[in-house]
Amino acid sequence: MKSASDIWICNVCRSINPMSSNRCYRCHTPIQIAAAKPDELSVHQAPREAHTEVVGTYRSTETLATLVTVAAVAFIFAMFLAIWTVFTVNDLRVSEGRAAADELFQQRLLWLIPGPVAGVLALLAYAFWIRRVVENLPALGLGFSRVSPTWAFFEPLIPGFNLYAIPARIAEVIQKLGGHLYATAIIGLAWILVIGPALILVYVARFTRIFGTGADLLRVTSLSSLVVFAFQSIALVLMLAVLWQVEKLLREKAASMPAPTAAPAPVMPPPVPIAPSPAEPTPTPAPAEPAAD
């Protein structure tokens, strides 16, 4: 059985948390803000709205959102160029042989580099953007995210896990900002467009490998990769639309926040007039003594 020294109680939602947890499991408020001991709380349960207070300073994310958009669009065009290059090389290998295909591949090798580079830059820009968005939630009085801003930065950079983390975090932000349900539906549709065609490509490739020739496998996988990336590009554009919907909600919420009241300037007492000091009398020179005869 745990003692009082092993737990802390959230003063926001009154949830009991172990000392090893740095956030409340229910409202996700950090321990530095919400921690309280049982003997520090009253029996009265304050309303949840009374604890929604502004923590931190709001910082605009529009510049980062613009960088994400530019990098994502560059990634789409660069990857289409790379996939088309691979398609033409494989098609040439089937029709004219390996030597011609290798020569073409050497000529267009540099065309394969911009796509991955743009993809990494887009992920980094998004990571910086979502980190600041998570930081802005308590600054707008919307509570805290399920994850810290630091973890929100690293989530999109973990391969595989980012397929869950990116839509989950944006959906959470939209829910806290009071966005429309259609934005969540768009996120779900984008996720299906990313995962669904890729799974279909895997099964088509397996089917072709079993019942077709090596040349058929090259043609099918190359052409299918173009089709799959076309669907994934649509998904990426949908996610960019959701991103700018979040930006709009953030701006509206920030505009509705009351302006911070400046501290009143200290009232200086009026200057005390200084009375002029009386003029000192001019000393009268002593009369000269008569000269002795």
What are 179-236's pLDDT values in tens digits?
Answer: 777 888 999 999 999 999 888 888 888 887 777 777 777 778 888 888 899 999 999 9
What are 78-118's pLDDT values in tens digits?
Answer: 999 999 988 888 778 877 777 877 888 888 888 889 999 99
pLDDT of residue 263: 46
Furthest CA-CA distance within the chain: 155
What are 54-64's pLDDT values in tens digits?
Answer: 677 889 999 99
Inter-residue contact 90 to 218 (CB < 8 Å): yes
47 to 13, 14, 103, 250, 286: CA distances (angstroms):
9, 11, 72, 25, 93
105 to 84, 101, 215, 223, 227: CA distances (angstroms):
12, 6, 17, 17, 21
Inter-residue contact 87 to 226 (CB < 8 Å): yes
- Cα–Cα dist 237/130, whole Å: 17
pLDDT of residue 48: 47
Across 234-260, average pLDDT? 89
Inter-residue contact 8 to 36 (CB < 8 Å): yes
pLDDT of residue 1: 56
pLDDT of residue 47: 45
Inter-residue contact 165 to 180 (CB < 8 Å): no
Give the pTM: 0.75
User: What is the pLDDT of the chain when averaged over all its residues?
Assistant: 80
Across 68-79, average pLDDT? 96
- Report the share of the chain in percent with pLDDT over 90: 34
